[in-house]
């Protein structure tokens, strides 16, 4: 994912200027954590541009989006495309569009009544709007996003709860024909489950990153979450390609609370953007660079990073 052209490092300083003294018992920031969250903020801020250009991100899959065409994500795609051409002349119009679409989305979504797939699309759209509003630099957009954070988290918890009740999807067994006959439902079901898991993880990551930047601390979160940290599976654009990826490599299921243990089975070629970003958050920027190796640094925005402070 290319770095976000619309992100300005000064936004970090603007957010940090709001800091207050941490509450007792909270996870507080230090220089190493600061570097991690600044790096994560930069990568998260690039997601709307990536979605506008590719119709896929580390939590939105292109084929699931194109097959279902949920109105919430179609609106979000239009807003992201508009935001990518923002300038001094049109920004008021674009800011109004972001505000209007986010308000319409919230007003039209009851997380306890809509289907799981509609809630997934709504959460993905709101997550895109939140990313724009938090990291644009406009104080009014940021205030709107802060006011909507509780809704974002409530939707994520509801989606998380509904996803936990689903039976895990078994991979194609050894020797199974790769022809789609008899297995046509496996890939769409996997896409829905994996998209849900990734969307919840990204939502909590965004909340934590912004909280650290603004408050210098974050409240402990329930990180008993997992996802398939395999670029070949997530990037597959057909069921045949997905089954081929399954047949060539054992699925890499990663539990965030068992990160070190599960990553012992991984190689740099396994990871996609989400895996690399989580690694930087959990291990630090420099250890992540060493683990990935020089061949993967540019892909994840790490090329040219010399130390643990990106903006100092």
Over the stretch 161-192, which tens digit does the pLDDT of each residue have?
A: 988 765 556 555 544 444 444 444 689 999 99
Mean of the pLDDT values across residues 90-109?
Answer: 98
Q: Judging by beta carbons within 10 Å of its beta carbon (0-12, 13-18, 19+), is residue 22 exposed, middle or buried?
A: middle
pLDDT for residue 216: 79
Q: Where is average pLDDT lowest: 71-75, 191-195, 248-252?
A: 248-252
Kind of pairing between the strands at 217-218 and 226-228: unpaired
Greater model confidence, 168 or 80: 80
Range 19-28 average pLDDT: 57
Residue with tokens 């061949």: 295
pLDDT at 310 over 80: no
pTM: 0.89
Looking at the predicted structure, is the pLDDT value of residue 24 above 60? no
Length of the chain: 312
Domain ranges of the chain: 33-167, 223-300
Q: Please state the rounded mean pLDDT for residues 147-158.
A: 98
> Which tens digit of pLDDT belongs to each residue from 46-63?
999 999 999 999 999 999
Closest by CA to 42, choosing from 73, 10, 16, is 10
What pLDDT does 15 receive? 76
Mean pLDDT over 299-305 rounds to 85
Percent of the chain at pLDDT > 90 equals 72
**109 contact partners, CB below 8 Å, separation of at least 6:** 72, 118, 119, 122, 155
Three-state secondary structure string covering the chain: CCCCCCCCCHHHHHHHCCCCCCCCCCEECCHHHHHHHHHHHHHHHCHHHHHHHHCCCCCCCHHHHHHHCCHHHHHHHHHHHHHHCCCCCCHHHHHHHHHHHHHHHHHHCCCCCCCHHHHHHHHHHHHHHHHHHHHCCCHHHHHHHHHHHHHHHHHHHHHHHHHHCCCCCCCCCCCCCCCCCCCCCHHHHHHHHHHHHHHHHHHHHHHHHHHHHHHCEECCCCCCCEEECCHHHHCCCCHHHHHHHHHHCCCCEEEHHHHHHHHCCCCHHHCCHHHHHHHHHHHCHHHHHHHHCHHHCHHHCCCCCCCCCCCC
Confidence of residue 219 (pLDDT cuts 50, 70, 90): confident
The tokens 């989606």 sit on which residue?
159
CB distance 169 to 189 below 8 Å: yes
Nearest-angstrom CA–CA distance, 211 and 208: 5
Q: Are 188 and 64 in contact (CB under 8 A)?
A: yes
Sorting pLDDT into bands at 50, 70 and 90, what band is 32? confident
pLDDT of residue 215: 87
pLDDT of residue 27: 53
The pLDDT of residue 177 is 46
Q: Given this model, what pLDDT does residue 132 score?
A: 98
- 3-state SS string for 32-98: HHHHHHHHHHHHHHCHHHHHHHHCCCCCCCHHHHHHHCCHHHHHHHHHHHHHHCCCCCCHHHHHHHH
> pLDDT at residue 144 above 90?
yes
Angstrom distances, CA of residue 43 to CA of 5, 119, 301: 11, 24, 8
State percent of the chain over pLDDT 70: 85
**What is the chain's mean pLDDT, rounded?**
87
Residue 295 has pLDDT above 80, yes or no: yes
- Contact (Cβ atoms closer than 8 angstroms) between residue 85 and residue 34: no
């Amino acid at each position: 994912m290319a770095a976000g052209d619309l992100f300005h490092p000064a936004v970090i300083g603007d957010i940090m200027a709001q800091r207050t003294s941490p509450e007792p018992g909270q996870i507080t920031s230090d220089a190493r954590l600061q570097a991690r969250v600044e790096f994560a903020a930069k990568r998260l801020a690039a997601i709307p541009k990536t979605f506008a250009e590719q119709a896929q991100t580390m939590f939105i899959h292109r084929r699931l989006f194109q097959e279902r065409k949920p109105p919430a994500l179609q609106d979000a795609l239009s807003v992201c495309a508009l935001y990518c051409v923002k300038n001094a002349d049109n920004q008021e119009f674009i800011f109004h569009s972001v505000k209007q679409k986010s308000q319409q989305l919230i007003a039209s979504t009851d997380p306890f009544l809509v289907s799981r797939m509609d809630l997934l699309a709504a959460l993905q759209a709101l997550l895109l709007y939140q990313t724009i509003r938090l990291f644009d630099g406009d104080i009014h957009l940021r205030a709107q996003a802060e006011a909507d954070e509780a809704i974002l988290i409530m939707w994520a918890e509801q989606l998380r709860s509904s996803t936990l009740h689903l039976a895990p999807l078994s991979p194609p067994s050894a020797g199974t024909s790769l022809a789609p006959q008899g297995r046509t439902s496996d890939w769409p079901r996997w896409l829905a489950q994996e998209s849900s898991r990734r969307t919840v993880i990204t939502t909590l990551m965004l909340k934590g990153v912004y909280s650290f930047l603004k408050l210098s601390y974050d409240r402990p979160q329930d990180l008993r979450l997992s996802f398939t940290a395999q670029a070949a599976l997530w990037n597959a654009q057909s069921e045949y390609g997905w089954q081929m990826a399954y047949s060539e490599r054992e699925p890499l299921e990663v539990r965030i609370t068992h990160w070190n243990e599960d990553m012992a089975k991984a190689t740099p070629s396994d990871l996609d953007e989400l895996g690399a970003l989580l690694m930087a958050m959990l291990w630090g920027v420099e250890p992540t660079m060493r683990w990935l190796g020089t061949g993967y640094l540019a892909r994840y925005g790490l090329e040219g990073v010399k130390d643990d402070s990106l903006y100092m």
